[in-house]
Amino acid sequence: MSSFKIFVGSITAAVTPPILLTILAVAFQKEIGLYHNNPIPLDTLLNYVFLIDVKAMQTNSLIAVIISWILAGLFIGEVTRKLIYGLTSSIIGYFLLVFYYVFSLETIPAIFTLPSIYTFITLLGSATIFSEIREMRKPKPFFTRLEEGGIKVEEEYKYPLKLPIRCPNCNAVIYSNSEYCWNCNFRLVDLFPRFRES
């Protein structure tokens, strides 16, 4: 499962920055200077993604490249869900892109120049931040939220029931963890363990 997440995350990391940059270039064509109603050659795109093209270093283009890397990082975080998978995926994805760059252009780009290191750090950073946010936003259990709102719930009612349940006495359908059956007044509380959600 985890290696599958890393695999999907890596592909996401390798594929999304150029795609996102294309979308941004088409949307803001005058400002970004990459797309002028003509197809964008892949090598041009990659030169932008790695900030090798001089034009990519101009303000608006630079912002577009950085945004595309940040969004890519967020996508990785979304896909991989866990920090460790996100980090691994970012690294593999980045180098997948580098390998593609090297083999398709048959040149060794200035991969380890400062700008491309920054894009790499951006990718790692946004994947990391997203994973952290996801961890923090894990939903609290229902009863914890109730008690935070000042509603005290006794332990015997805290069973996670698989609803609806059926009254064992009259066979009525019951949609809550109520103490008694609404139909025949049969006491249900003692039976909760039987209907526990596994």
Q: Which residues bind Zn ion (CB under 5 A)?
A: 167, 169-170, 172, 181, 183-184, 186
Task: Report, in Å, the least distance between residue 187 CB and Zn ion.
Answer: 10
Task: Report, in Å, the least distance between residue 181 CB and Zn ion.
Answer: 3
| 148 vs 190 by CB, closer to Zn ion | 190
Cα angle 72, 78, 81; round to 5: 130
| 186 vs 192 by CB, closer to Zn ion | 186
Strand partners, 180: 187
| 113 vs 171 by CB, closer to Zn ion | 171
Cα 28 from Cα 38, distance rounded (Å): 14
Closest CA to 101 of 54, 58, 37, 53: 53
Closest CA to 165 of 132, 120, 197: 197
Task: Report, in Å, the least distance between residue 74 CB and Zn ion.
Answer: 51
| 2 vs 183 by CB, closer to Zn ion | 183
Cα 129 from Cα 120, distance rounded (Å): 14
- Burial of residue 134, with CB atoms counted within 10 A of its CB: 0-12 exposed, 13-18 middle, 19 or more buried: middle
